[in-house]
């Protein structure tokens, strides 16, 4: 008996049959950033994928998940432990002789006197024998020591042993936990792939931002030169009475407005360079090769397939689906934990009073135990309910990730399509502004109007020039967002793990 998780499909997901189609598509290369045809960008992305600290953290999380999975898998096998003991014991105790004292001092003095007394000379042989006995007894009295009142006994013992334990996985609890941990390893790996996609996107987007800022700085400096040249011409016209001081002041205002644009742009450029260096795992202010300042030509739209394809292409979708599977297996663990568990234990040991005799005495044991819950105040039932709630949470998280991925593709397609129309209209507006400035300047030069229409047309034209650079940048950003929304499977080949 076991509790296998349900087989889930895409039936609960609300997906459209296809995306909105905008223009022709082409097959997307494995490394989508190569579509921008910039060797410098390719080198930046590859360096970031190798050295980015966020990716290194993701790799460390994979290592943690792998270690946890190994720990959980270990419970499927018997555990064998060894032990060794050596002990030495000293037992100090009273000997019990306190009531039997040795010869007293007076007895010893009397015995000494007997030994020093003259012998029984001239007597009978019996008297001599008696005298010898008396002297021997006296000598024995003098040489007798007082008995000890305590004693210490020393003992030693040695032992070696082996102990084994094993749980019979009757209901699949251990296997389910192992399976959940293994799936979580795969899920964490998909998190790494999602982080790789994100880092690649951040590098490309930062690179595009730098191109925009650098182009805008160059354009603004050219505009500043143009405005200063116009000021010189106006001053010459003042000398010839063809212009007024008001015209000079108005042009000075235009120059000051243009100069004010540069410092924020230069600060933004430096900040972006710092951010790009951090993405590459380098210190700020590290020199980086960005290639040229020109925008890459937009390639045809990548082949985005159908909404259901995102389930396999997006690493964040795959990760959410795997986490849902792991939660299903955790439910199986919680269910099986409510049933009895069978555990086997065994042991083998040797012992002896002397080390060379340790293997002469041995003991072997084998036991089996069946344990199961009778009353736990609903703790295990609550754990089952909790794991079901986790499943519901991750199921809805999975649905949200899927719909979000579809929405991101749709949004990118809409923005690309509408933004291209916006760029076309902006370029028409820029052309009209340039024509208006030329006409106003001709009329001003011929004395048909004052300088204010020229100034207005000039400022409008220069603003539109900067807006055009920003619009071209935004179109490329939407292309990057489309690639990020489509996902891919290129990460496995470049994975740091």
The C-alpha atoms of residue 454 and residue 432 are separated, in whole angstroms, by 14
The C-alpha atoms of residue 83 and residue 350 are separated, in whole angstroms, by 10
Sheet holding 362-371, edge to edge: 79-94, 150-168, 341-352, 362-371
- Rounded to 10 degrees, the C-alpha dihedral 8/13/15/17 comes to 40
The pLDDT, as a whole number, for residue 446 is 85
The pLDDT, as a whole number, for residue 191 is 95
The pLDDT, as a whole number, for residue 147 is 60
The pLDDT, as a whole number, for residue 207 is 97
Tell me if 343 sits within 8 A of 165, measured CB to CB.
yes
Ramachandran category for residue 100: left, alpha or beta (phi over 0 → left; psi -120 to 50 → alpha): beta
The pLDDT, as a whole number, for residue 50 is 93
DSSP 283: -
Tell me if 406 sits within 8 A of 448, measured CB to CB.
no
The pLDDT, as a whole number, for residue 188 is 95
Mean pLDDT by 10 residues, the chain (497 residues): 78 74 67 92 95 94 94 92 84 60 71 70 61 72 65 79 91 92 95 95 96 96 94 88 88 94 96 96 91 87 84 92 94 92 88 72 85 90 95 94 92 92 96 94 86 90 95 95 91 74
Q: What are φ and ψ of residue 2, in 5° steps?
A: -150, 175
Q: Which two tokens stand for residue 253?
A: 């205002």
Tell me if 157 sits within 8 A of 353, measured CB to CB.
yes
The C-alpha atoms of residue 128 and residue 126 are separated, in whole angstroms, by 5
Which of 427, 457, 426, 460 is closest to 439 using CA atoms?
A: 457
Which of 437, 482, 21, 386 is closest to 223 using CA atoms?
A: 437
The pLDDT, as a whole number, for residue 146 is 61
Q: What is the pTM of this model?
A: 0.81
Q: What are φ and ψ of residue 361, in 5° steps?
A: -120, 125
The pLDDT, as a whole number, for residue 479 is 93
């Amino acid at each position: 008996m076991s509790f296998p998780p349900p087989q889930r499909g895409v039936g609960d997901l609300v997906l459209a049959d296809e995306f909105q189609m905008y223009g022709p598509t082409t097959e997307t290369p494995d490394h989508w950033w190569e579509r921008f045809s910039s060797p410098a960008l390719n080198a930046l992305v590859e360096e970031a994928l190798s050295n980015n600290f966020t990716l290194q953290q993701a790799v460390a999380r994979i290592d943690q998940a792998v270690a946890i999975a190994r720990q959980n898998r270990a419970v499927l096998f018997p555990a064998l432990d060894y032990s060794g003991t050596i002990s030495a014991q000293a037992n100090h105790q009273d000997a019990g002789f306190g009531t039997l004292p040795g010869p007293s001092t007076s007895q010893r003095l009397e015995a000494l006197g007997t030994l020093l007394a003259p012998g029984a000379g001239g007597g009978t042989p019996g008297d001599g024998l008696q005298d010898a006995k008396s002297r021997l007894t006296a000598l024995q009295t003098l040489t007798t020591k007082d008995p000890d009142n305590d004693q210490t006994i020393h003992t030693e013992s040695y032992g070696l042993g082996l102990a084994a334990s094993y749980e019979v996985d009757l209901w699949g609890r251990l296997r389910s936990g192992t399976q959940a941990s293994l799936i979580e390893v795969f899920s964490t790996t998909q998190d790494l792939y999602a982080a790789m996609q994100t880092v690649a996107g951040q590098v490309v987007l930062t690179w595009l931002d730098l191109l925009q800022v650098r182009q805008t700085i160059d354009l603004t400096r050219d505009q500043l030169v143009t405005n200063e040249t116009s000021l010189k011409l106006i001053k010459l016209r003042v000398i010839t009475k063809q212009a007024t001081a008001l015209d000079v002041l108005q042009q000075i205002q235009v120059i000051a407005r243009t100069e004010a644009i540069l410092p924020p742009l230069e600060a933004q450029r430096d900040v972006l360079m710092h951010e790009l260096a951090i993405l590459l795992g380098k210190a700020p202010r590290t020199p980086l090769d960005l290639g040229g300042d020109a925008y890459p030509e937009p390639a045809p739209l990548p082949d985005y397939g159908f909404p259901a394809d995102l389930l396999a292409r997006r690493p964040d979708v795959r990760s959410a689906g795997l986490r849902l599977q792991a939660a299903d297996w955790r439910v199986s663990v919680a269910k099986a934990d409510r049933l009895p568990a069978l555990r086997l234990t065994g042991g083998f040991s040797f012992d002896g009073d002397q080390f060379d005799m340790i293997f002469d005495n041995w003991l072997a044991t084998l036991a089996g135990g069946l344990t199961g819950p009778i009353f736990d105040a609903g703790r295990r039932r609550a754990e089952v309910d909790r794991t079901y709630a986790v499943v519901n949470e991750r199921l809805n998280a999975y649905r949200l990730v899927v719909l979000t991925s579809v929405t991101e593709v749709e949004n990118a397609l809409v923005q690309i399509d509408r933004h291209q129309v916006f760029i076309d209209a902006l370029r028409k507006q820029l052309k009209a502004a340039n024509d208006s400035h030329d006409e106003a300047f001709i009329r001003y030069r011929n004395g048909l109007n004052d300088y204010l229409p020229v100034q207005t047309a000039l400022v409008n034209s220069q603003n539109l020039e900067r807006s055009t650079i920003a619009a071209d940048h935004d179109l490329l950003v939407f292309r990057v967002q489309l690639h990020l929304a489509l996902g891919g499977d290129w990460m496995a080949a470049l994975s740091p793990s």
